[in-house]
Amino acid sequence: MSDDRFRFDVPTAFVFPGQGSQKPGMGTPFYEGSARARDELERLDEAVDFDLLDQCLEGDADALRRTRTTQPTVFATGIAAHAAVVERLGRVPQYVTGHSLGQYTALAAAGGLDPEAGVALVRRRGEVMERACEDVSGRMVAALFVSPEAVTRVCADDDEVDVAGFNGPRQTVISGTESAVAAVVGTLRDTTSGPCRFVDLEVSEPFHSPAMAPAEATFADELRACSLADGLQSAVVSDTTANVYEAPECVVGDLESQITATIDWTGVVDTLRERGVEQYVEFPPSGTLGTLVAESHPDARIVTLESPADIAEIAR
């Protein structure tokens, strides 16, 4: 963008992170710096069967790695920050989207899912996903500077591993059993010309892989029982199809298959770019999605929210 200022007359997208973005104290800046965010976190804390507020403020890294804890705390942190932003701005963006778990946060931010129902739903999602992998030694690895086509081709040779996500032109995520992922990484190291890197993700289960099929089947019933609003305040872009949701039934079907489906973040950014989006606001826990957006849309204006003080950058 030629103008470095944040302008709401320019198409804008709010983006919400998924599991792996969690960090100790992730809810503290907004809890301490915004009365609206504090009220939201305390309300969400009452909607679940564990001490969500304590984990958002004081949970250690090991506790936050547990999927049943990570998912509701990341969701709650994003929703609290969103409440503070909307209160300050008095308006909503044209588009919202999220990465994996972040799709639930995005849906709630758009008014399609009640936040209290949403935090309970993702708590259940985390429990189901964690339980499905109790007997599976899984692993997720980000392949950096390896072509997405090469990763896809190598993964296709083993039904215990799959491409979990196309995060950008230079980052593709692999997920599956530990042995299968190790074999894929080994093959890619041997066959990739030029420098490449492989980074293990901070997750405890092989998400978006065939190993999650039992969780997907179990969680489908939970989703069908969930009440979704007919109207959305912002258009929501699916993180698996990269399409804009057209109706509530599309949302349910998409989320049912999301647990094993490949995340197409590259496609999401392409869709938003095609629709004229030039500005992004990255919600906490922040630090990853903004970088991924920049890889696919280098001219975009990206604001990363880490505390209420950062809202001033988009409220000018």
pLDDT for the residue 246: 83
The confidence score (pLDDT) of residue 58 equals: 96
Q: Would you give the DSSP letter of residue 312?
A: G
Helices 115-132, 67-89: crossing angle, 10 deg rounding: 160
Selection from 222, 229, 164, 154 nearest residue 187 by Cα:
154
- pLDDT tens-digit map of 267-283: 999 999 999 999 999 99
12-133+211-313 CATH fold: Malonyl-Coenzyme A Acyl Carrier Protein; domain 2 (3.40.366)
If you count them, how many residues does the chain have?
316
pLDDT for the residue numbered 203: 81
CA neighbor of 295 nearest in space, from 120, 142, 95, 82: 142
Taking every pair of C-alpha atoms in the chain, what is the biggest distance, in angstroms? 54
Annotated domain spans of the chain:
12-133+211-313, 138-203
Q: What is the DSSP string of 125-141?
A: HHHHHHHHTTT--EEEE
Amino acid at site 90: G
- Architecture of the CATH domain 138-203: 2-Layer Sandwich (3.30)
The string of pLDDT tens digits covering residues 8-55 is 888 999 999 999 899 999 999 999 999 999 999 999 999 999 999 999
- pLDDT on residue 136: 82
pLDDT > 90 fraction of the chain, expressed in percent and rounded: 83
CA 47 to chain centre: 21
What is the rounded CA–CA span in Å between residue 255 and residue 101?
10
CA dihedral 163, 166, 169, 174 (to 10 degrees): -30
Position 315: which residue type? A
> Which strand ranges, in their side-by-side order, compose the sheet holding 12-16?
235-236, 95-98, 12-16, 279-282, 301-304
Q: Is 2's pLDDT higher than 60?
A: no
Distances in whole angstroms, Cα of residue 14 to Cα of each of 33, 78, 180, 195, 289: 20, 11, 35, 33, 11
User: Do the first three CATH levels of 12-133+211-313 and 138-203 match, i.e. the same topology?
Assistant: no
Neighbours of 52 (CB within 10 A): 25
**306 to each of 137, 216, 220, 313, how far by Cα in Å?**
34, 32, 33, 12
**CA-to-CA separations, 88 to 20, 30, 114, 306, 313, in angstroms, rounded:** 28, 13, 20, 15, 11
Q: How far is CA 5 from CA 82, 189, 282, 293, in A?
A: 20, 42, 16, 18
Nearest to 289 by CA among 164, 171, 207: 171
Please report which helix (H) or strand (E) contains residue 248, including its range: helix 248-258
Rounded to the nearest integer, the mean pLDDT of the chain is 93
**Tokens 């919600």, located at residue:** 283
- The predicted pLDDT at position 3 comes to 59
pLDDT of residue 286: 82
| Gap between the Cα atoms of 27 and 61, Å rounded | 14
Contact criterion met (CB below 8 Å) for 98 and 105? yes
Residue-wise pLDDT for 130-163, tens only, equals 998 888 889 999 999 999 999 999 999 999 999 9
116 or 10, which is more confident?
Answer: 116
Measured between its terminal Cα atoms, the distance across the chain in Å is: 17
Task: Give the residue from 75, 168, 77, 165 showing the smallest Cα distance to 125.
Answer: 75
